[in-house]
Amino acid sequence: MRIGELAARTGVSVRALRYYEEQRLLVAERSPSGQRVYPDSAVDRVWMIQHLYAAGLPSKAIEPLMPCVISGEVTPELLKRLRAERQRIEQRIDDLVSTRDRLDSIISVAAAHEGGVCPR
């Protein structure tokens, strides 16, 4: 399929698909006229890339995972990377929960003094 069709089927912009190629996350064959041609499996690959981005992984962390996505081969190095990314995400969640709790505290104090002066 051509890049426009892949974009339509995945909901990802053509520009983003080109970026994925630059980052070696997605591979296209070239037609004799130079147009990108993707296999049907590219749809699932793009969705996986989108999920990994949504989880907060940068392209540099996603690129080493792509061989596993393609072949299904799981190596000790891959597991190590996945666990490290999971830990990084877990830390972000903890930080966000802490920030939310501090904000709840501030909201509580401010609400108790609504219309007046907020204590320092």
pLDDT digits (tens, 9 = 90+) for 41-71: 999 999 989 998 988 888 888 888 887 777 7
User: What pLDDT score does 40 carry?
Assistant: 93
Q: Give 36-103 as a DSSP string.
A: EE--TTHHHHHHHHHHHHHTT--HHHHGGGHHHHHH----HHHHHHHHHHHHHHHHHHHHHHHHHHHH
pLDDT in tens, 82-99: 898 889 889 989 999 999
Please state, in angstroms and rounded to a whole number, the distance separating the CA atoms of residues 58 and 49: 10
Residue 6: what pLDDT?
96
Query: C-alpha distances in angstroms, 34 versus 3, 24, 31, 69, 120?
Result: 12, 18, 5, 26, 65
pLDDT for position 119? 66
The pLDDT, as a whole number, for residue 8 is 97
